[in-house]
Structure 1
Amino acid sequence: MKNINNTLITLVLVASAVALIAFVPGGDGFQKRKKAKAVEHLTFQTNINGQGNALNLEFVKGPEHNHPLMAVWIEDIDGNYIQTLFVAASIAKGVFAYGDKSTGRWKAGEIQRPAALPYWAHKRNVMNDKGNFMPRPGFEVPDAYSGATPKANFTLETRTDKPMSGKFRVLMEINQSWDWNRYWTNNKFPDDREYKTSSQPAIVYAAEVTAGVPGEYPMQPIGRSHHAGADGKLYNDLETLTTAMKIVESVKVVVKAGN
């Protein structure tokens, strides 16, 4: 009987210890519970000093969303680039967090990724000293228009530099590495190093907006970029893309009254 009682006491003490670890701040269980709670929606701002129209971009991620790179910009109705509203910081600076392994350990370093967002890069039309259109140190996109790519659904609150009138277009280009499919295979272009950094090409979304007219303007896919970033053309063979079409569940531009 004494042994049974001792066993019961031991079990109670162990259970109590487990409960404390699970719920006391700083315990492993508590930390795991905290980490499991993901942020579902982020709101952030760019170009807060812009003197033009206020625009919101409402983005809902799709089932294949996994750390994509993206850029958002505006054009006139004829397709002439006006300005960038947002671009992922790694592209904006040409420096990636895992860009340099010269010491044997990954650290931030400069990398050119022309296949990442080539449609936007060619539209921006700023040639660097290496002869391509990718931002790099000395040719960066200003911090006011860049930031970390959100990992969750998000609202981008932004402004145009100058007041817009009439109709204009808002565009978004988005790309995600390592998303091979049966058409865009890892040996489709075996000698093209840039293709291997992109896999399925970037997709371009667009919406036509009327300045000063409140409402929601859904963005729709209008094409894809060059698979290796070799040009700034828009290609219309979206039927070759699979999971890349599921990075985005929905995206729209919102113009509020008075803006």
Structure 2
Amino acid sequence: MILKSIIKKIFVAAFALLVFQQVWAEENSENRTAKVRVLVTPGSEWKGKFPPQFALWIQDSDGNFSRTIFATKKASKKKWIFAPKDGRPESLPVWYHSCENFYVPESKNEMDAVSSATPKGSFDVSRKIQLEEGKKYFVFAEVNKSFDYNEFYPKDAGKNSAEYSGVNGQPSAVYRAEISLENHEAKLELIGTGSLDGKSGLIEDKTETLTTAKNLMEKIVVSLEVSTKTL
């Protein structure tokens, strides 16, 4: 009985210490409000009969935070001509899965505030977000243009073919840059493509199959304007 009582006291003390450490960490972590600003310079293939769909979002290095910075309205509303009711998830699959799967969901009002028609030229967008001191974040961009076929994703590919993409043509191109409260500016780099059929949110390392899709973007630069106040 004495041994059992001692073990119980040790367990209670350890649990109390764990709770204290967690509360202390939360109270002493420094969060700052930062304006995340992204300057987008379209490439030579941006303009055309079918405007590209585009999304920008941010998440932390643990993958448990997500906020959309900008999205084209057609993609955010999922309203497409001659498309299924659920829209075209293959257009921006990484962003779609990010919005649905991360802990912080996007509300309708949020999406209305950060979406617009596809810009015709260079543009910059910004959004105020709380960021934590000492933590790394990733800003992602995803862009896709319908009917953008090439030799790897031909228009006449059969439905059972690995190259079949419907009206999508080439898969979405995905860009990424790392930022933090200590690293205020970075250029997004092409890191891969989205799922060809939209069923996955994974980024595939196969940029060698992109041709004209690589020219949808010329440059994407992210910068932070950090508030001096801690939260």
* TM-score normalised by L of structure 1: 0.64
Partner residue of 1:205 out of 159, 175, 182: 175
Picking from 172, 187, 204, the partner of 1:235 is 204
Alignment of 1:122-161 (within 5 A): 122-125=97-100, 142-160=111-129
Q: Quote the residue 2:53 is aligned against.
A: 69
Deviations 1:25-60 (A, max 9, x none): xxxxxxxxxxxxxxxxxxxxxxxxxx9310111111
RMSD across aligned positions (CA): 2.9
Shift of 1:99: 5.5
> Structure 1: how far apart are the matches of 2:212 and 2:36?
29
Instruction: After TM superposition, give the deviation of residue 237 of structure 1 in Å.
Output: 1.0
Structure-1 separation of matches of 2:151 and 2:66: 37
Q: How does 1:152-171 map to 2 (within 5 A)?
A: 152-160=121-129, 162-165=130-133, 166-171=135-140
Partner of 2:12: none
1:164 Cα deviation after fit: 3.8
CA contact (8 A) 2:34 2:227 kept: no
Identity %: 28
- Change in 2 beyond 3 A, CA 1:140/1:121: farther
CA distance in structure 1 between the partners assigned to 2:65 and 2:227 by the alignment: 25
How many angstroms apart in 2 are the aligned matches of 1:173 and 1:209?
A: 17
Contact 1:87–1:145 (Cα < 8 Å) also in 2: yes
- From 86, 105, 114, give the equivalent of 2:89: 114
Q: Unpaired runs of 5+ in structure 2?
A: 1-31
Paired positions, count: 188
Q: TM-score scaled to structure 2, two decimals?
A: 0.71
Please state whether the residue corresponding to 2:68 is helix, strand or coil: strand
On the 8 A contact 2:153/2:165 being kept in 1, the answer is no
Query: Any residues of structure 2 matched to 1:55-66 within 5 Å, and which?
Result: 55-66=36-47
Which fold has the larger relative contact order, with Cα–Cα distance below 8 Å and residues 6 or more apart in sequence? 2
Match of 1:89 in 2: 73
Unaligned runs of 5+ in 1: 1-50, 101-108, 127-134
Q: State the shift of 1:81 in Å.
A: 4.0
3-state SS in 1 of match to 2:95:
helix
